[in-house]
Amino acid sequence: MTNEQHIVSSFDRDLETIQAQIMKMGGMVERAISDAARSLETRDDELAEEVRSRDKAIDALEEQINDEAARVLALRSPAAVDLRIVLTVIKISGSLERIGDYAKNIAKRTSVLTAMGPVNGSPSALRRMAREVEEMLNDVLDAYIQRDADLAHEVINRDQDVDQMYNAIFREFLTFMMEDPRNITPCMHLHFIAKNIERMGDLVTSIAEQVIYLVTGEMPEEPRPKGDRTSIDPSIAPT
């Protein structure tokens, strides 16, 4: 093997390493979403605490990925597709870390809610919403590995479903609070959880946009459809 071939082979290994780390991080975040939603539904304080403690490992992995990506940029000076790989790794790891933070926030509120009375079937509805985001994340990671821009576009479109679920849950919370003032405090906590899940969906779509950029070299031109109308529709938003 020539010296040039050795350098190319070593560079390829560097790229494979940071991409493998992204997939590992993605799996950790998927588990965080699932466990946070399950701890809420089952009122499991111990599981919620596990989600909170495991977030440190997600944060540490993001830092490791960014350090490795920075080293590759400094030492290899990648161009074209290789440069896009490194740049998307940095962007995706940042989005994953933020999704992990939202899962941790859900787990924090779970501990507060377990001391309050349950509010009808709200935790189950929130878990269904979280499961949709988790499936979107799983699919977008598949799209990343397979370099599948079409699948990434599908994930972006599915964020509308998450927004519609959020809108429906938001209306339910308003109804519960008007029916019984004792529901106000738990419903406020549950609404923050719903909003965190909705924002997770937004971050998954950001990952999907990075996949499209990686594959095509361009970000999606069309504006991403947005179905969360609680901040713009006066018939939905609180006064």
Question: What is residue 100's predicted lDDT score, i.e. its pLDDT?
Answer: 98
Domain count along the chain: 1
What is the reported pTM? Answer: 0.88
* CATH value at residue 85: 1.20.58.220
Domain contains 3: no
Indicate if the pLDDT at residue 161 is higher than 60: yes
In a domain? residue 236: no
Q: Are 220 and 156 in contact (CB under 8 A)?
A: yes
Q: What is the pLDDT of residue 26?
A: 97
Residue 230 within any structural domain of the chain: no
In a domain, 229, yes or no: no
Which range, of 72-81, 161-170, 189-198, averages the lowest pLDDT?
A: 72-81
Q: What digits encode the pLDDT tens for the residues 63-96?
A: 999 999 999 999 888 888 889 999 999 999 999 9
Inside any domain, residue 1: no
pLDDT at 236 over 60: no
